[in-house]
C-alpha cells in the first residue's frame, strides 16, 4: 500500500497512462465501426433523452447501440413519453456524412466521439413499456419540476441539466461571440456550488460519511446530465480530490486532473475530439499550474483568471470558431461574478421555489440584453485563419515563456498575434464550389479579391426540405477559416431561392462590399435584399458587362428567371472558367451566336444538371475538360438527368452530391483539384 501511494504521487505514471489513452484514440479513429443495424424496423429502444425543436423532436435512444431518432412533426406529443420508457420504432436509417465543406462542423465526427453511429428518421414510434428504472424516475421528476418555471426553463435546463438547446439561438450565438458561453456549460463552478451546499447540509445535520455522500451525488449528477463532457471532467476530478483527501494520498491536483482525463479517454478515446473536453481540461490545467500568478484583490484575480483562460484556449477557439473577441477578457469581469453569485444561485433557488420564476427571469433578461448589446460591437471581434499544428506548438512555446516571465516573452506573443492576423490560410488563386445541397454557391479568389457567386438557400433530405442556414454553417465558417474578412463582390446570378436564399443572412452577418444583380426586374427576394443593402449602405449594381477579369455574357432579357441568370466567364492563369447559373437552352444558343468562346477548362453546369440546360450544341462548342454539377443528394427533381450526363461524358464530371465541395486550385500555372467527399 505504501509503495502504491508513493507511485501515485509521481507525475510520470499519469503521463504514461495519458499517453496510452491517446494511443487508444488514434487506434479508435483509424478503425471503421460496423453498425449492428441494417434497418430499424420493429426495433425496441430505451428513451434516454427527449429534446423538442420547432420542427419536431429529437430522441436519444439506447438499444444494442446508442442512436438518435428524429420525428419531423410539429404536432408530435412528447408528453406521452418519459425517460426510461421502452419504445418500438420503425424508421429509415439516415446516412451520416462527414463535413463536405472543410473547416466546418463535422456532425459524423461529433456523433462518433459520443459513441453514436446511427441516426434514424422515425416513421412510427410506440410505447411498449413504462419506465421502471429508479434513476430514470428521479431524473423524470427533476425535469418535470423544471417545467413549472414557464419563463426560465431554458436556463434551468442549461444550468442544472446541461442542455442548452432551449436557449434562443440568437442569445446563444451572442454568448459565443462575446466569449462567455463557457459560463452556461456545467463546469467546476456549478459542481463546486453543489458540493458546497451538500457539505453545509451534512455539517448542519451532523451526517457522517460526507465524502461517500458527495461521491454518490456526483455519480448521480453525471447520469442526470447525460454524462456531458464538462460535467464528467468536473465530477471525476472532484471525486478524485475527495478520495485523495479521504485516504491522505497527497497526490498533486495536476496529477489528479491528468488521471481524470485518462479515465475519460480510456472509457471513450474519441472523446478527445470533444471541444468541451478540450476547453475544460486545458483551462483547468493552466489555472492549477499557474495559480501562483493569480494574486491580488477579487477584481484583479478575476481579470488574471480570465486572461490566462483566454491565452491558453486561444488555439482551440481559433481552430473551432475562427474568431476571437478581444473584449471577452473585460466582459468576464462582469459576467463571471454575475453568473457565479447571482444567476446560478438564483436558478437553484427558483428551481426549489418555482413561484420565483418571474424574479429569475428578470435576472436572465439582464444578461441576455447585455450580451446581445455587446455582440453589436464589431471592432472587438477579430477573424483569424485556422492554425496549423506547427503554429499551435510555436504559440504554446511562446506562451510558456510568458507564464515563466522570461525576457522578451510578451514581445514574442504580441508578434505572434500580429503575424497570425496577417497570415492567410490559403494563399493561392482558386475556385471553390460549395456543397450547398440543391442550390449553387461558389467562391472565386484571385490575388486579394474574393467574389462569391450565389449563396445557396434550400437544404433537402430526400423529398423533404428543412431549415438549415448554409451561410451560418458553411459559407461564413469557411471564409473565416481562410482568414477572409470580407467579400469584395457578391454576385446573384438570378432571384431563385436556391441561389440567393442565404444572401440576406450573409450581408447581415459578414462584410460585403458590393452586390451584383442580373439584368431582369427584381423579384420579391431581390427586393428584400435591396432593402437590407440600402439600410447597411452596401453598394449594388445591375446588368453589368465586366467586373475585373470577369465577363458577364449578356444576351438580353427573357421571360423567365432562369434564362435571365448572370452567365460569367473568367480566366485564371490561363484556365478558362464558366458559371452558368440556371441559364437554359435558349440563352445557351444566344451565347453561341454572340460570343466567340470555346474549349472551357471548367464549366459550372447550368440548372443543376436539368434537361432544360446543357444542350448538345452548347456543350459541343464549350467542350469542357471538367464539369461541375451542384446538386442535392436524393433531390426530388431527379437532378442531374441521365441525358445531360451523357452529353457531358467527354469531360470529367464532379457532382457535389457525390464528391462534396470541389476546389480548383491554380498555382504556378498548374491546376490542382481537391474534393471533400461526404
Answer yes or no: are the C-beta atoms of 88 and 59 closer than 8 Å. Answer: no
**What pLDDT was estimated at residue 463?**
47
User: Is a pLDDT exceeding 50 seen at residue 462?
Assistant: no
Residue 499's SS3 state is: helix
Q: Residue 513 corresponds to which cell in the numbers above? A: 462590399
**Per residue in 492-517, pLDDT tens?**
999 999 999 999 999 999 999 999 99
**What pLDDT was estimated at residue 169?**
86
**Per residue in 211-231, pLDDT tens?**
899 999 999 999 998 888 888
**What pLDDT was estimated at residue 92?**
86
Kindly list the domain boundaries of the chain, sorted by start residue: 2-26+154-383, 43-132, 389-422, 429-672
Answer yes or no: are the C-beta atoms of 542 and 520 closer than 8 Å. Answer: no
Q: How far apart are CA 418 and CA 436, in angstroms?
A: 34
**What pLDDT was estimated at residue 330?**
92
**What pLDDT was estimated at residue 34?**
56
**Per residue in 277-325, pLDDT tens?**
899 899 999 999 999 999 888 889 989 999 999 999 999 999 999 999 9
From the number of C-beta atoms within 10 Å of its C-beta (0-12, 13-18, 19+), residue 180 rates as buried
Lowest mean pLDDT among 120-134, 190-204, 372-386, 638-652: 190-204
Specify the higher pLDDT residue, 35 or 601: 601
Q: Find residue 30's DSSP bridge partners.
A: none
In whole angstroms, how far apart are CA 7 and each of 2, 11, 249, 445? 9, 9, 10, 58
Q: What percent of the chain has pLDDT over 70?
A: 95
Q: Residue 367 corresponds to which cell in the numbers above? A: 444578461
In whole angstroms, how far apart are CA 285 and each of 250, 254, 257, 258, 298? 18, 7, 7, 9, 21
Q: How far apart are CA 641 and CA 117, in angstroms?
A: 33
CA torsion sign for 654, 660, 661, 665 is: negative
**What pLDDT was estimated at residue 262?**
87
- DSSP result, 227-271: T-HHHHHHHHHHHHHHHHHHTT----HHHHHHHHHHHHHHH-GGG
User: Is a pLDDT exceeding 50 seen at residue 461?
Assistant: no
Q: Residue 255 corresponds to which cell in the numbers above? A: 496529477
Nearest to 240 by CA among 250, 225, 227, 226: 250
Mean pLDDT of 448-466: 74
Q: How far apart are CA 241 and CA 237, in angstroms?
A: 6
CATH superfamily of the domain spanning 43-132 = Nucleic acid-binding proteins (2.40.50.140)
Phi, psi of 452 (to 5 degrees): -110, 125
Give 356's pLDDT tier (boundaries 50, 70, 90).
very high
**What pLDDT was estimated at residue 382?**
95
Identical fold at 43-132 and 429-672?
A: no
Mean pLDDT of 646-665: 96
Q: Which residue has the cell 451572442?
A: 174
Answer yes or no: are the C-beta atoms of 46 and 85 closer than 8 Å. Answer: yes
User: Is a pLDDT exceeding 70 seen at residue 403?
Assistant: yes
569 Cβ contact list (under 8 Å, min separation 6): 550, 551, 553, 576, 577, 578, 579, 595, 597
Mean pLDDT of 390-406: 94
Return mean pLDDT, the chain.
90
Question: What residue spans of 31-130 are helical by DSSP H?
Answer: 107-113
Cα angle 120-121-125, degrees, rounded to a multiple of 5: 95
The alpha carbons of the chain give a radius of gyration, in whole angstroms, of 28
**What pLDDT was estimated at residue 135?**
92
Taking the domain 429-672, which CATH number applies? 3.60.15.10
Answer yes or no: are the C-beta atoms of 503 and 455 closer than 8 Å. Answer: yes
Give 147's pLDDT tier (boundaries 50, 70, 90).
confident
Q: Residue 120 corresponds to which cell in the numbers above? A: 434514424
Mean pLDDT of 26-47: 71
**What pLDDT was estimated at residue 423?**
84
**Per residue in 416-434, pLDDT tens?**
999 999 987 667 899 999 9
Lowest mean pLDDT among 119-133, 158-172, 462-476, 592-606: 462-476
Lowest mean pLDDT among 110-114, 187-191, 389-393: 187-191
Q: How far apart are CA 530 and CA 516, in angstroms?
A: 11
Specify the higher pLDDT residue, 100 or 20: 100
Dihedral, CA atoms, 204, 208, 209, 215, nearest 10 degrees?
A: -20
Give 9's pLDDT tier (boundaries 50, 70, 90).
low
Give 247's pLDDT tier (boundaries 50, 70, 90).
confident
User: Is a pLDDT exceeding 70 seen at residue 465?
Assistant: no
**What pLDDT was estimated at residue 95?**
80
**What pLDDT was estimated at residue 502?**
94
**What pLDDT was estimated at residue 677?**
93
pTM: 0.91
User: Is a pLDDT exceeding 80 seen at residue 369?
Assistant: yes
**CB atoms closer than 10 angstroms to residue 150:** 10
User: Is a pLDDT exceeding 70 seen at residue 2?
Assistant: no
Give 65's pLDDT tier (boundaries 50, 70, 90).
confident
Answer yes or no: are the C-beta atoms of 438 and 631 closer than 8 Å. Answer: yes
Amino acid at each position: 500500500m505504501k509503495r502504491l501511494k508513493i507511485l501515485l504521487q509521481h507525475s510520470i505514471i499519469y503521463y504514461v497512462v495519458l499517453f496510452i489513452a491517446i494511443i487508444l484514440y488514434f487506434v479508435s479513429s483509424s478503425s471503421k465501426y460496423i453498425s449492428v443495424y441494417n434497418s430499424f424496423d420493429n426495433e425496441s429502444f430505451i428513451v434516454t433523452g427527449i429534446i423538442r425543436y420547432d420542427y419536431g423532436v429529437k430522441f436519444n435512444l439506447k438499444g444494442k447501440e446508442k442512436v438518435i431518432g428524429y420525428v419531423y412533426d410539429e404536432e408530435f406529443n412528447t408528453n406521452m413519453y418519459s425517460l426510461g420508457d421502452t419504445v418500438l420504432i420503425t424508421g429509415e436509417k439516415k446516412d451520416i456524412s462527414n463535413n463536405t465543406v472543410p473547416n466546418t462542423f463535422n456532425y459524423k465526427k461529433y456523433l462518433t466521439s459520443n459513441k453514436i453511429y446511427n441516426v434514424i428518421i422515425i416513421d412510427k414510434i410506440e410505447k411498449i413499456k413504462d419506465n421502471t428504472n429508479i434513476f430514470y424516475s428521479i431524473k423524470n421528476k427533476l425535469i418535470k419540476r423544471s417545467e413549472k418555471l414557464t419563463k426560465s426553463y431554458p436556463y434551468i435546463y442549461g444550468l442544472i441539466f446541461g442542455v442548452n438547446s432551449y436557449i434562443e439561438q440568437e442569445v446563444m450565438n451572442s454568448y459565443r461571440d462575446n466569449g462567455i458561453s463557457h459560463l452556461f456549460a456545467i463546469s467546476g463552478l456549478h459542481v463546486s456550488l453543489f458540493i458546497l451546499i451538500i457539505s453545509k447540509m451534512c455539517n448542519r445535520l451532523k451526517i457522517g460519511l460526507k465524502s461517500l455522500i458527495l461521491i454518490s451525488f456526483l455519480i448521480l449528477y453525471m447520469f442526470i446530465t447525460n454524462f456531458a463532457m464538462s460535467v464528467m471532467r468536473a465530477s471525476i476530478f472532484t471525486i478524485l480530490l475527495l478520495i485523495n483527501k479521504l485516504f491522505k494520498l497527497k497526490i498533486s491536483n495536476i496529477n489528479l486532473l491528468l488521471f481524470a482525463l485518462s479515465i475519460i479517454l480510456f472509457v471513450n478515446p474519441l472523446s478527445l475530439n470533444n471541444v468541451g473536453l478540450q476547453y475544460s481540461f486545458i483551462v483547468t490545467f493552466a489555472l492549477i499550474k499557474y495559480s501562483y500568478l493569480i494574486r491580488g484583490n477579487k477584481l484583479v484575480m478575476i481579470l488574471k483568471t480570465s486572461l490566462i483562460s483566454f491565452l491558453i484556449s486561444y488555439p482551440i477557439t481559433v481552430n473551432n470558431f475562427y474568431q476571437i473577441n478581444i473584449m471577452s477578457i473585460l466582459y468576464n469581469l462582469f459576467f463571471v461574478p454575475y453568473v457565479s453569485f447571482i444567476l446560478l444561485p438564483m436558478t437553484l433557488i427558483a428551481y426549489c421555489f418555482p413561484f420565483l420564476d418571474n424574479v429569475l427571469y428578470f435576472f436572465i433578461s439582464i444578461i441576455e440584453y447585455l450580451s446581445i448589446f455587446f455582440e453589436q460591437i464589431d471592432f472587438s471581434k477579430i477573424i483569424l485563419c485556422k492554425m496549423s499544428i506547427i503554429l499551435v506548438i510555436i504559440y504554446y512555446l511562446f506562451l510558456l515563456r510568458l507564464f515563466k516571465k522570461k525576457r522578451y516573452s510578451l514581445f514574442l506573443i504580441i508578434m505572434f498575434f500580429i503575424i497570425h492576423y496577417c497570415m492567410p490560410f490559403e494563399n493561392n488563386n482558386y475556385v471553390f464550389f460549395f456543397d450547398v445541397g440543391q442550390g449553387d454557391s461558389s467562391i472565386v479568389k484571385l490575388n486579394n479579391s474574393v467574389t462569391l457567386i450565389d449563396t445557396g438557400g434550400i437544404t433537402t433530405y430526400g423529398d423533404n426540405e428543412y431549415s438549415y442556414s448554409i451561410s451560418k454553417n458553411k459559407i461564413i465558417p469557411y471564409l473565416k477559416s481562410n482568414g477572409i474578412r470580407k467579400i469584395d463582390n457578391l454576385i446573384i446570378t438570378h432571384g431563385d431561392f436556391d441561389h440567393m436564399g442565404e444572401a440576406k443572412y450573409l450581408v447581415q452577418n459578414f462584410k460585403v462590399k458590393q452586390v451584383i444583380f442580373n439584368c431582369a426586374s427584381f423579384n420579391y427576394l431581390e427586393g428584400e435584399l435591396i432593402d437590407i443593402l440600402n439600410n447597411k449602405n452596401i453598394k449594388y449594381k445591375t446588368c453589368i458587362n465586366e467586373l475585373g477579369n470577369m465577363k458577364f455574357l449578356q444576351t438580353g432579357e427573357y421571360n423567365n428567371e432562369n434564362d435571365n441568370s448572370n452567365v460569367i466567364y473568367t480566366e485564371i492563369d490561363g484556365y478558362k472558367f464558366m458559371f452558368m447559373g440556371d441559364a437554359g437552352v435558349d440563352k445557351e444558343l444566344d451565347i453561341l451566336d454572340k460570343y466567340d468562346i470555346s474549349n472551357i477548362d471548367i464549366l459550372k453546369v447550368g440548372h443543376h444538371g436539368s434537361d432544360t440546360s446543357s444542350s448538345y450544341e452548347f456543350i459541343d462548342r464549350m467542350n469542357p475538360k471538367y464539369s461541375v454539377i451542384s446538386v442535392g443528394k436524393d433531390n426530388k427533381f431527379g437532378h442531374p438527368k441521365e441525358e445531360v450526363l451523357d452529353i457531358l461524358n467527354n469531360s470529367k464530371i464532379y457532382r457535389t452530391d457525390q464528391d462534396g465541395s470541389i476546389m480548383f486550385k491554380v498555382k504556378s500555372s498548374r491546376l490542382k483539384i481537391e474534393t471533400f467527399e461526404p
